[in-house]
Amino acid sequence: MKTKLNKMLNWELNLKQVQTSSELLRGKVALTRSDNGALLNICSDQYRPFYNNDLLCLVRKIENISSFELEGFEEFGNGKKILAFLKNRRVRKLGQEAVSDYLIIGNTHDTTSQLFAGMSNYMFRCKNQFSSSLYPLRAKHISGLNPNSIDPKLLLTNYMNDRNQLDRQVAMMMNTPINEHQISRMINEILNRIEPIPLNNETESFKKYWRKKQIEKAVNKEMNELGETIWGFYNGITFYTSNILQGKGGFGLTNGLSARINKIAWDVSMNNTQA
């Protein structure tokens, strides 16, 4: 199911000195939320944050030169990771399906990564969602990092290159037929990569069996509509992760088990696609 986005970020990042029971801790700062004081991380005082307002400024720059507009924000880890979703006002197709295209810009407040970007697609027909791997932007949390240090035109160029590559990959998938034996083998490969260790526990074994049955049903459904091709198969997987699998995959399925299954299924599908 689609996760609801926050229209705006109603808090900012604060930097505070780290106080022990007896003294200030030199060389360290605490990153906290301005709204509730929650601690996000303790890091070097050389760290230069990319504030929430900086992220919004970058989003506005992209809006001013493109057909993308801000749909909203999503937070993970109580604000340690933030994603901005920009929706393309121009409806495009993926294969033969009408989709909403999203440009994703992400930031972290726990120093685990630099700024990153990616794309997500939402199919109107079946509400299937999947996202590309999020890739780092050439900007680190060091001195000088601000919205002006990131070229929005270059970011959009990278997005269009990735989107065009996706179109080519989908075309190859649509032109690659698949039979029942291949379907069974590919589903088993995906399941084994999700849970590579043999399941001795009876409850866990039943979960894997039930997951397989649900995936098989979803794959059959989508292949009946899209054809017996790799593209039909992959859409069956995204139908399962978007509409059946329970959990918090986030808007666009950028997080958690749903995103992991989609990534594994994409790799398996591409490995079986004819160039």
Q: Which of 218, 194, 208 is nearest to 127 (CA)?
A: 218
For residues 149 and 87, give the distance between their C-alpha atoms in angstroms, rounded to a whole number: 23
Tokens of 156: 């959009």
CA Rg, the chain, in Å?
21
Instruction: Single out the residue in 105, 137, 171 at which a domain terminates.
Output: 171
φ, ψ (nearest 5 deg) of residue 136:
-70, 145
Domain that holds residue 190: 176-271
Based on the fold, state whether residues 167 and 243 are members of the same structural domain.
no
Do residues 3 and 120 touch, judged by C-beta distance below 8 A? no
Q: Which helix (H) or strand (E) holds 194?
A: helix 180-194
- Give the chain's length: 275
Tens place of pLDDT for every residue, the chain, 275 residues?
Answer: 456 889 999 999 999 888 776 667 788 899 999 999 999 999 888 888 889 999 999 999 999 999 999 999 999 889 998 989 999 998 888 888 888 889 999 898 887 767 888 888 776 555 566 566 556 665 544 555 677 888 899 889 988 988 899 899 999 999 999 999 999 999 999 999 987 656 566 666 778 888 899 999 999 999 999 999 999 999 999 999 888 887 654 554 455 788 889 889 999 999 999 76
For the whole prediction, is pTM greater than 0.85? no
Based on the fold, state whether residues 155 and 187 are members of the same structural domain.
no
Q: Looking at the domain assignment, is residue 167 inside a domain?
A: yes
- Torsion sign over Cα 55, 61, 65, 69: positive
Domain count, the chain: 2
Tokens of 64: 């001013």
Instruction: Single out the residue in 148, 171, 194 at which a domain terminates.
Output: 171
Instruction: Single out the residue in 115, 141, 171 at which a domain terminates.
Output: 171
Tokens of 127: 């509400």
Based on the fold, state whether residues 262 and 196 are members of the same structural domain.
yes
